[in-house]
Structure 1
């Protein structure tokens, strides 16, 4: 069996806040939108959002409300200059979870949060 990752969907509470964050602040181009389901252009793997309400009503998945206090995964974006990107995001009011640090393997990483608290890694490429 060969699996290929096509997309990741984040379930969000406030559609407008999430659109402002991903389209406005992170400047991700919209690939496709159908109601509250949106796909963003992010390279080989598509990042999508959809409201929890829509997933429950239209798909029938039992999605819990966003009262989770811990995260179990992260979404990562590679940038050329991690510290400069973090400063731009800070100026726009984005929550910075971890300031940029250089890991022993040479990669610089920092963490931010989206409006629903999803962890987003902002990192340099691994050389």
Structure 2
């Protein structure tokens, strides 16, 4: 088995794709003509966005939408970078909201958290080094 992608259900797929392009430098793979599903080129694992309407059609029992109320759900996407200060600032400039500032962890890693344009929690961190 292989972890292939994460789909995030959002009100506006093209807007979410554009945000991730500006904030994190990912490139769009595609968006459907209906603008209800899109994917980013992010490496081995794909980040995808689907409209809440598409989610409603897929899940007959429904699903909880991201509330975008300030407190994120207990799930995060994590992006590693060697230029954490510049990339953290780039995300904020593109419209992300700082959730926790960059801090140095006891194991040596630098970690900061932002909320994306939909309220999803994003960790921006330096890569872990092998000891």
Q: Which bracket does the TM-score occupy, shorter chain normalised?
A: 0.7 to 0.9
2:85 alignment counterpart:
83
Cα deviation, residue 77, structure 1: 0.6
Work out which of the residue numbers 6, 9, 16 in structure 2 matches 1:8: 6
Cα deviation, residue 116, structure 1: 1.5
Q: Which moved more, 1:26-35 or 1:93-102?
A: 26-35
Work out which of the residue numbers 93, 96, 99 in structure 1 matches 2:98: 96
- Shift >4 Å, 4+ stretches: none
Cα deviation, residue 70, structure 1: 4.2
**Is 1:65 aligned with 2:65?**
yes
**Is 1:22 aligned with 2:24?**
no
CA RMSD of aligned residues (A): 1.8
Q: Which moved more, 1:44-53 or 1:65-74?
A: 65-74
TM-score (norm: length of structure 1)? 0.85
Unaligned 5+ segments in structure 1 are: none
Deviation per CA, 1:66-112, whole angstroms, max 9, x where unpaired? 33754121001111111121122223332011111111111111111
Asked if 1 retains the 8 angstrom alpha-carbon contact of 2:67 and 2:119, the reply is no
